[in-house]
């Protein structure tokens, strides 16, 4: 039995700055209500709720899916919680999609969130111990390996950092709005995890992102512009094993292969119009371009260098400003999927890619070991 079509018909985001005035419940609800409003629906129209967030230690709230039921109108309904570290937002969106594709539910609300201001991610990701490496210290050695292998010049990371922050200026929800962002500013910001400067790293953000997913009947009934979930894929590998290629994880390659195959895509760079890739540290743009088969090995940085990944380039990446501009961790992957959906719905305002019909949303998590990707399409049966 094949999957039934599933589409995004409503999206909602919060402003991703610190939200000290809102409870965690209020934050999650704000995104959910905006998504429902966008879909022209109410809580009573929702059959099931799927939420995702990063490790509980980030806010110290255990089993938040229970305490958030009231705020999400989920009392008396099925509620599921997904957890795959940093990739969780995308995994959550995909899990919600499968609930519609299976025919189990007609209309599903999915929400990803993090309120980083209530805890400390570096503390949590360092196991609560002094001298921890955190995420930056974990990824930096692999980035150095990528640079050594690809012979990429050092300014590539700075270019990504500037490009994504410039895109963020066009996105009112983005956390960072650095009006005077420049190569000099990035290069002269403190070196945190060599070769990563402060401005080549993601911020700590609060925020929630939500989507309403429905089947073909739901799309017809609401009359809303859909983003069809043409394909999705998830893959996982161990964090450590002999011969593991940390700069180009095999699970990431296989996830992309499975995704493109499912979507009928044979030349992803040409056939996909734009991508929201999970880039928490600047160098991950070229690394994922290569690691997800959007560029040949050793060629990803050349696309960045040539301006191909800019908003007006041949293959725009992170039009919203990306994770480098907003990182409410548990929401970050969902924002990538949501932005891909909004691109093909033509709903991205100033950071809209003109005529985008097929967009990629992507997230990775853990020690670059969990991958979740989806393709959003303006058409249910696009001609590729």
Partner 1 sequence: MGDLPVIDYTLSFPYTRTTGPVMGPFLTALRDGQILGGRCGDRVLCPPLEYDPDTGAEVAPDLVPVGPGGTVTGSTWVSTPTEKHPFAEPFAFATIALDGADTPLIHAVKAPGPVEAGTRVMAQFRDERVGAITDVYFVPEADAVEQTIAPGDEPVEITEHLIGVRIQEDLYPFRKRYAQALLDGKILGQRSPKSGKVYVPSRGYDNMERVPMTEADDVFLPDIGTVVSFTEITPIQYHGQTETDPYIRCAILLDGADQPVTGIDIRDLRPPEFKVGLRLRCVWRPPAERDVSELDNRMGAIPEGVYERWEPTGEPDVNPDELRGQAW
Judged by beta carbon, residue 249 or residue 268, the one nearer partner 1 is 249
- Residue 370 touching partner 1 (CB under 8 A): no
Judged by beta carbon, residue 20 or residue 179, the one nearer partner 1 is 20
Q: How far is the CB of 188 from partner 1 (least distance, A)?
A: 14
Q: How far is the CB of 186 from partner 1 (least distance, A)?
A: 16
The region of 124-132, 208-216, 264-272, 289-297 touching partner 1 under the rule CB under 8 A is 124-132
The binding track of 39-68 with respect to partner 1, each residue x by CB under 8 A or -, is ----x-------------x-xx--------
Which among 141, 371, 172 is positioned nearest to 259, based on CA atoms? 371
Q: How far is the CB of 190 from partner 1 (least distance, A)?
A: 6
- Residue 190 touching partner 1 (CB under 8 A): yes
The region of 164-172, 239-247, 277-285, 330-338 touching partner 1 under the rule CB under 8 A is 239-247
Q: How far is the CB of 18 from partner 1 (least distance, A)?
A: 10
Judged by beta carbon, residue 246 or residue 271, the one nearer partner 1 is 246
- Residue 147 touching partner 1 (CB under 8 A): no
The region of 14-22, 261-269, 320-328, 372-380 touching partner 1 under the rule CB under 8 A is 14-22
How far is Cα 363 from Cα 235, in angstroms, rounded to an integer?
Answer: 11
Judged by CB under 8 A, the residue of 70, 184, 270, 296 near partner 1 is: 70
Buried b (16+ CB within 10 A) or exposed e, 235-245: bbbeeeeeebe
DSSP one-letter code for 159: H
Q: How far is the CB of 80 from partner 1 (least distance, A)?
A: 17
* Burial class, 62, CB count within 10 angstroms (exposed 0-12 / middle 13-18 / buried 19+): exposed
* Burial class, 131, CB count within 10 angstroms (exposed 0-12 / middle 13-18 / buried 19+): exposed
Which among 351, 370, 280, 335 is positioned nearest to 114, based on CA atoms? 335
- Residue 247 touching partner 1 (CB under 8 A): yes
The region of 192-200, 260-268, 277-285, 357-365 touching partner 1 under the rule CB under 8 A is 192-200
Q: How far is the CB of 312 from partner 1 (least distance, A)?
A: 34
DSSP one-letter code for 61: -
Specify the DSSP element, H or E, that contains 113: strand 107-115
Spatial contact of 354 and 311, defined as CB atoms under 8 Å apart: no
Pairing of strands 48-52, 107-115: parallel
Judged by beta carbon, residue 4 or residue 57, the one nearer partner 1 is 57
| Alpha-helical regions (H) of the chain | 24-39, 64-67, 88-101, 121-125, 134-150, 155-168, 183-188, 216-222, 250-263, 268-271, 284-291, 300-305, 322-325, 329-345
- Residue 23 touching partner 1 (CB under 8 A): yes
- Residue 145 touching partner 1 (CB under 8 A): yes
How far is Cα 317 from Cα 118, in angstroms, rounded to an integer?
Answer: 30
Binding site for partner 1 (CB under 8 A): 19-26, 29, 43, 57, 59-60, 69-75, 117-120, 122-124, 126-134, 137, 140-142, 144-145, 148-149, 190-194, 238, 240-247
């Amino acid at each position: 039995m094949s999957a039934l079509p599933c589409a995004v018909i409503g999206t909602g985001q919060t402003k991703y700055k610190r939200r000290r005035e809102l409870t965690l419940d209020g934050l999650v609800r704000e995104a959910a209500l905006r998504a429902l409003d966008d879909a022209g629906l109410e809580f009573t129209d929702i059959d099931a709720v799927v939420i995702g967030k990063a490790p509980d230690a980030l806010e110290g709230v255990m089993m938040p899916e229970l305490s958030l039921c009231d705020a999400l109108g989920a009392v008396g309904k099925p509620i599921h919680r997904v957890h795959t570290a940093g990739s969780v937002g995308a995994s959550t969106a995909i899990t919600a999609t499968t609930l519609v594709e299976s025919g189990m539910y007609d209309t599903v609300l999915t929400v990803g969130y993090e309120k980083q201001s209530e805890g400390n991610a570096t503390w949590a990701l360092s196991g609560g111990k002094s001298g921890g490496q955190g995420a930056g210290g974990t990824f930096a050695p692999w980035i150095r390996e990528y640079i050594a292998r690809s012979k990429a010049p050092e300014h590539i990371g700075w270019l990504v950092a500037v490009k994504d922050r410039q895109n963020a200026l066009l996105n009112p929800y983005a956390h960072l709005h650095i009006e005077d962002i420049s190569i000099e500013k990035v290069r002269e910001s403190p070196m945190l995890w060599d070769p990563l400067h402060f401005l080549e790293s993601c911020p700590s953000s609060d925020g929630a992102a939500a989507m309403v997913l429905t089947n073909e009947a739901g799309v017809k009934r609401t009359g809303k512009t859909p983003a069809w979930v043409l394909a999705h894929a998830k893959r996982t590998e161990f964090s450590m094993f002999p011969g593991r290629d940390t700069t180009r994880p095999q699970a990431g390659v296989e996830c992309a292969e499975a995704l493109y195959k499912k979507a009928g895509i044979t030349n992803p760079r040409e056939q996909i119009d734009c991508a929201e890739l999970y880039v928490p540290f600047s160098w991950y743009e070229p690394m994922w371009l290569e690691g997800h088969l959007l560029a040949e090995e050793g060629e990803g940085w050349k696309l960045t260098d040539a301006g191909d990944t800019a908003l007006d380039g041949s293959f725009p990446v992170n039009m919203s400003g990306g994770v480098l501009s907003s990182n409410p961790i548990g929401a970050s992957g969902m924002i990538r999927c949501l932005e891909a959906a909004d691109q093909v719905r033509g709903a991205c305002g100033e950071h809209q890619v003109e005529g985008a019909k097929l967009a990629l949303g992507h997230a990775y998590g853990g020690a670059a070991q969990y991958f979740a990707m989806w393709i959003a399409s303006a058409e249910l049966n696009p001609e590729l």
